[in-house]
Amino acid sequence: MDVLTVKDLSVSFYRESGEIEAVKHVSFSLRPGEILVIMGDTGCGKSVLCKSIVKLLPDIAKIKTGQILFQGKEITGYSEKEMQKLRGASFSMIFQNPMTALNPCMSVGAQIAEAVRLRSPELSRRERWDRVIELLELVGIDRAKERAGQYPFHFSGGMAQRCVIAIALAADPAVLFADEPTTSLDEGMQEQILALLLELREKLGMAVILITHNPKVAARVADRAALMRDGELYRIGDTEEIFEEIIYNNY
């Protein structure tokens, strides 16, 4: 069964100046463990599409048409409370700038521990901390025990993004939404984070929706690729086919 199914999804922003149709009649599905890359020009609706699935849109945005199904179950009408549960256990998100995603006043270990507590409230302090160390090791942070006590400013951008990924993984998500997770990093770090995403997909079997502007990134990790244009999911399919299209049409 598909882990995620989106059918005919349309999302608009309603401002005083009028309606902005950010996502128009988008349909796609995601298989368990699959990496789907979404590309497209700036402003074409990639982030709004993901945020509308996890329901992290501002109040002025409304889902106008369509359905969202998670593991076959319709979640379109879920309340904020129900969504919080889903976001803590089935969906996780990582965004472009790791430094804004981390709390500068808390050790990274404490931040990961908080995510672990939300997911598994039954764990003792000790077990929770063991899980924190395990997660830091999983995302490739050396000397995890020592690092857990440090603050975000002790970390480079790439290391900070690894910590953000550790927080996202605390939920043991079925779907990870990664909105340009490597854009703020230098090329070497980008490579490392992508290699990590691939490794995690293998190990944990989670599906990933990865938004990127970088065709090199996309080519490296995508099982399938999608191209958005002006709010529409214009093309979706085999990565190579989509690339040919991108190159041919000069996107």
Ligand X SMILES: Nc1ncnc2c1ncn2[C@@H]1O[C@H](COP(=O)(O)OP(=O)(O)OP(=O)(O)O)[C@@H](O)[C@H]1O
| Tally of helices (H runs) and strands (E runs) in the chain | 10, 10
Q: How many CB atoms lie within 10 A of CB 236?
A: 18
- Do 66 and 94 touch, CB atoms closer than 8 A? no
**Which positions ≥6 away from 130 have C-beta within 8 Å?**
none
Of Mg ion, ligand X, none, which one sits near residue 44, judging by CB under 5 to 8 A according to partner kind? ligand X
Measured from the CB atom, the residue of 91 and 129 that comes closer to Mg ion is: 91
Q: Which of 1, 16, 18, 58 binds ligand X (CB under 6 A)?
A: 58
- Residue 58 interacting partner from ligand X, Mg ion, none (CB closer than 5 to 8 Å by kind): ligand X
Q: Residue 4 or 138: which CB sits closer to ligand X?
A: 4
CA dihedral 237, 241, 244, 250 (to 10 degrees): -10
13 binds, among Mg ion, ligand X, none (CB under 5 to 8 A by kind): ligand X
Q: Which CB sits closer to ligand X, 34 or 180?
A: 180
Give the Cα-Cα-Cα angle 142, 179, 227 (nearest 5 degrees): 135
- The residues pairing with 10 across neighbouring beta strands, listed in sequence order, are 65
| Overall size of the chain counted in residues | 251
Phi and psi (nearest 5°) for 185?
-105, 155
- Binds 43: which of Mg ion, ligand X, none (CB < 5-8 Å by kind): ligand X
Binds Mg ion by CB under 5 A, chosen from 5, 47, 92, 239: 47
Nearer to Mg ion, 90 or 212 (CB): 212
Query: Segment contacting Mg ion (CB under 5 A): 47-55, 68-76, 149-157, 220-228?
Result: 47-55
Residue number with CB closer to ligand X (22 or 164): 22
- The answer to whether 48 contacts ligand X (rule: CB under 6 A) is yes
Q: What residues between 23 and 42 interact with ligand X by CB under 6 A?
A: 40, 42
From the number of C-beta atoms within 10 Å of its C-beta (0-12, 13-18, 19+), residue 204 rates as middle
The Cα 207–Cα 88 span in angstroms is 16
Q: Binding marks (x or -) toward ligand X, 198..237, rule CB under 6 A?
A: ----------------------------------------
Q: Does 5 bind Mg ion (CB under 5 A)?
A: no
Coil, helix or strand at residue 232: strand
Residue 233 DSSP symbol: E
Residue 48 binding result from Mg ion, ligand X, none, given CB thresholds of 5 to 8 Å by partner type:
ligand X
The site for ligand X (CB under 6 A) is made up of 13, 15, 20, 22, 40, 42-48, 58
